[in-house]
């Protein structure tokens, strides 16, 4: 009876999560979320070498070798604040300083299981991983206003991933390697202007795309030190068919590398430092200049720091910081006014409370500090005609997560 109940619970949560993953997402790592779930968010996404829950199926699939069998379900309330002040010959300066303050719910869930012999583990997770967008009251460009229209003001883009992972420890070396295939589902809608200065034929109706990719993980734990490495391949997606006049190729997700160390300063206090690279320039649709149909993004090099303190009571406390230069520079501000992924610094705090030996509840708050960019007019034609346009973004994230453990084990 217990097994049937568990299967029913997992099935119900999967259906709810799939239906809920369609809302717009935002992020500080370009379009990528800083972390998945309250435990990752509590350290600002640091911890590729310090597994703590089943979201490591995505962060580092090899590290799930050190986890109990567990189910994790989280819900994140995302509250970004975006501003856009169009200027220049082509900017709709009559719109003034526009703002958008919508809030969104982002769910995720994951399950990991370590096999009885202790040398292998597997996991599965369903996550909202990427997204961006805005909805302003008026057009970014002056052209729709001249024709008594109100387009070129809305964009929504989101990506969900279903990830499977298998990890295996290599003999007595202590090293664990893992492979994880990814299935992707992406949604997009917009009323942006195309390169021919007409509203896209998609006309702000939802279109979707499907794709796949994979990740490879490595993990090793010594006495007090541990190391982790994850390579995530490019995620190859189909094209948004209704927006072929806007995009010249598919909106693939870029390849990424995240690597780092964790060190137990004391048995109760652990520090983590990670480096993350996102290859935005490797995706033509994102990396090429706006005049060629792209967005002109540059690669990101991200540093993440995290601290975890297990108190003598039932509480575990976390804090973290993440820094990354914006993938958008001052030459491409006007072209990215509807894709303002420009935050650079995020600070996070989090806590976990052990309810019983089998259940825990987790909380996290992340604040991404406001960043503002003004187009300097030194880019391509869109920069020249949009000189002086300004965009800004700040974000607040509140995450709650519940964990159920299906039994304890002894670490080897």
Q: Which residue has the tokens 């800083």?
A: 34
C-alpha torsion angle, residues 189, 390, 103, 342 (rounded to 10): 80
Residue pLDDT, tens place only, 144-171 = 888 778 889 999 999 999 999 999 999 8
- pLDDT for residue 23: 43
Please, how many CA atoms are within 13 Å of residue 139, restricted to the half-sphere of its CB?
22
Write out pLDDT tens, residues 213-257.
999 999 999 999 999 999 999 999 999 999 999 999 999 999 999
Residue 66 and residue 221: Cα distance in Å, rounded? 9
The tokens of 89 are what?
A: 């010959």
Tokens 């070129």 label which residue?
152
Element (H, E) at 143: helix 142-146
CB 376 within 8 A of CB 387: yes
pLDDT score for 116? 80
Per-residue burial over 64-79, b = 16 or more CB atoms within 10 Å of its CB, e = otherwise: bbbbbbbbbbbbbebe
Q: What is the pLDDT of residues 284-333, one digit of tens each?
A: 999 999 999 999 999 999 999 999 999 999 999 999 999 999 999 999 99
Residue 317 is predicted with a pLDDT of: 98
Question: Which residues of the chain fall below pLDDT 70?
Answer: 1-28, 408-412
* Residue 386 tokens, joined: 């949009």
pLDDT on residue 66: 96
Task: Name the DSSP class of 157.
Answer: E
> What pLDDT does residue 175 have?
96
pLDDT for position 13: 43
Structure-block tokens of residue 95:
């719109």
Q: How would you label 154-166 residue by residue, b for 16+ Cβ within 10 Å and e otherwise?
A: bbbbbbbbbbbbb
User: Where are the chain's structural domains?
Assistant: 2-405
For the structural domain made of 2-405, what CATH number should be given? 2.40.160.60
Strand, helix or coil for residue 35: coil
- Per DSSP, 76 falls in state E
| Model confidence, pTM | 0.90
C-beta atoms surrounding 100 within 10 Å: 18
What's the confidence (pLDDT) of residue 28?
62
Using the Cα atoms of residue 331, residue 334, residue 338 and residue 340 in order, give the sign of their dihedral. positive
């Amino acid at each position: 009876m217990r097994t049937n109940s568990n299967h029913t619970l997992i099935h119900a949560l999967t259906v709810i999560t799939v239906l809920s993953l369609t809302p717009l997402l935002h992020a500080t790592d370009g379009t990528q979320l800083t972390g998945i779930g309250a435990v990752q968010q509590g350290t600002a996404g640091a911890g590729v070498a310090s597994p703590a829950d089943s979201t490591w199926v995505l962060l580092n699939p090899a590290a799930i070798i050190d986890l109990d069998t567990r189910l994790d379900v989280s819900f994140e309330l995302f509250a970004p604040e975006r501003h856009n002040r169009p200027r220049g010959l082509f900017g709709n300066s009559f719109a003034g300083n526009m703002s958008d303050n919508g809030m969104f719910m982002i769910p995720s869930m994951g399950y990991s299981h370590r096999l009885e012999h202790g040398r292998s583990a597997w996991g599965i997770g369903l996550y909202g991983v990427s997204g961006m967008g805005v909805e302003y009251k008026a057009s970014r460009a002056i052209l729709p206003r001249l024709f008594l229209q109100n387009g070129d003001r809305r964009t929504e883009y989101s990506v969900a991933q279903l990830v499977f992972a298998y990890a295996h420890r290599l003999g007595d070396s202590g090293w664990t390697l893992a492979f994880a295939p990814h299935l992707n589902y992406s949604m997009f809608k917009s009323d942006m202007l195309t390169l021919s200065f007409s509203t896209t034929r998609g006309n702000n109706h939802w279109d979707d795309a499907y794709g796949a990719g994979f990740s490879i993980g490595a993990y090793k734990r010594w006495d007090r030190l541990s190391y982790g490495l994850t390579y995530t391949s490019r995620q190859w997606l189909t094209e948004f068919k209704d927006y072929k006049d806007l995009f010249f190729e598919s909106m693939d997700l870029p390849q990424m590398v995240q690597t780092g160390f964790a060190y137990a300063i004391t048995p109760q206090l652990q520090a983590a430092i990670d480096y993350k690279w996102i290859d935005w320039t490797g995706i033509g649709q994102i990396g090429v200049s706006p005049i060629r149909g792209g967005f002109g993004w540059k690669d990101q090099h991200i540093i993440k720091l995290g601290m975890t303190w297990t108190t003598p009571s039932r509480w575990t406390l976390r804090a973290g910081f993440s820094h990354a230069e914006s993938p958008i520079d001052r030459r491409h501000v006007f072209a990215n006014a509807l894709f303002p992924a420009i935050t650079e610094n995020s600070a996070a705090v989090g806590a976990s409370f052990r309810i019983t030996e089998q259940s825990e509840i987790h909380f996290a708050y992340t604040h991404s500090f406001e960043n503002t960019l003004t187009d300097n007019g030194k880019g391509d034609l869109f920069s020249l005609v949009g000189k002086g346009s300004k965009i800004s973004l700040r974000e607040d994230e509140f995450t709650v997560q519940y964990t159920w453990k299906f039994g304890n084990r002894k670490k080897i």
